Amino acid sequence: SYVLTQPPSVSVAPGKTARITCGGDQIGSKSVHWYQQKPGQAPVLVIYYDSDRPSGIPERFSGSNSGHTATLTISRVEAGDEADYCCQVWDSSTDHVIFGGGTKLTVL
Amino acid sequence: QITLKESGPMLVKPTQTLTLTCTVSGFSLNTLGEHVGWIRQPPGKALEWLTLISWDDNKRYNPSLRSRLTITKDAAKNQVVLTVTDMDPTDTATYFCAHRMPGNDYGKYNFDYWGQGTLVTVSS
């Protein structure tokens, strides 16, 4: 089955740029979605269709997808961005939803 | 405004069957293109997709759990029901239901609204 690989953790200083990767075989040919999840809360969609932002999500959040890696980029990181981030795709070969293992973003 | 809310037991015993209900508002389960899915998250672990159901009763299941899962909907009650048989302590998790962002392309499948989740503990 299709596997999405994320680093367990990423650390960044306030005001800097955080990049969280999501690796998968030819993931560039798939549509990737990203969720933010804070402790004790439900996930929130922050990027869909590789790079689109839902209403209410700051422009500081952006996404890209090419080859074997999709990337969530958070510019001018704030303390409130500290959360777990998870990528997700649809595996068309099996007709199933696939989630990545999640990445914990720590703001130093 | 779309909302979803999970309900069901907080504690089940091993081998029992879990039944969870997702009550939705802001959309109709019979409207063309609407889907609801179930996702779970063991404490401290990653999200795991379980199943989904479409407006026309099309269903998909996680293959690793396929034999134990059933999803149904009752549009008149605005409810989607998940049953999980033969519960085990490893099934302890927060269970979420979520609304699929409308679209015709399954390849772009994602969840734009989520319920708050309900923690289910499996213990004797």
pLDDT tens-place string over residues A21-80: 999 999 999 999 999 999 999 999 999 999 999 999 999 999 999 999 999 999 999 999
Tokens of residue B58, six digits: 């099309």
Q: Give how far Cα A55 sits from Cα of A6, A64, A77, B68, B105, Å.
A: 26, 18, 19, 37, 21
Q: Does B112 touch chain A (CB under 8 A)?
A: yes
In angstroms, how far is CA B13 from the centroid of its own chain?
20
Per-residue pLDDT of chain B in tens (124 residues, 90 and over written 9)? 999 999 999 999 999 999 999 999 999 999 999 999 999 999 999 999 999 999 999 999 999 999 999 999 999 999 999 999 999 999 999 999 999 988 878 888 999 999 999 999 999 9
A102 contacts on B by Cβ (under 8 Å) = 46-47
Interface of A with B (CB under 8 A): 1, 30-31, 33, 35, 37, 41-45, 48-49, 54, 86, 88, 90, 92, 94-102
Q: Are B112 and B53 in contact (CB under 8 A)?
A: no
A48 contacts on B by Cβ (under 8 Å) = 101, 108, 110, 112
Best mutation site among B4, B62, B110 for testing chain A: the one with the most A CBs within 10 Å? B110
Q: Does B37 touch chain A (CB under 8 A)?
A: yes
Q: Are B43 and B92 in contact (CB under 8 A)?
A: yes
Say if the Cβ atoms of A90 and B48 lie within 8 Å: no
Residues with Cβ within 8 Å of A2's Cβ and at least 6 positions away in sequence, in order, are: A24, A25, A89, A91, A93, A94, A98
Q: What's the pLDDT at B106?
A: 83
Rounded Cα gap, residues A24 and A12, in angstroms: 24
B68: left (phi over 0), alpha (psi -120 to 50) or beta: alpha
In angstroms, how far is CA A101 from the centroid of its own chain?
10
Q: What's the pLDDT at B102?
A: 86
Q: Are A14 and B88 in contact (CB under 8 A)?
A: no
Asked whether the predicted pLDDT for residue A97 surpasses 90, the reply is yes
Residue of chain B minimizing CA distance to A31: B108
B48 contacts on A by Cβ (under 8 Å) = 99
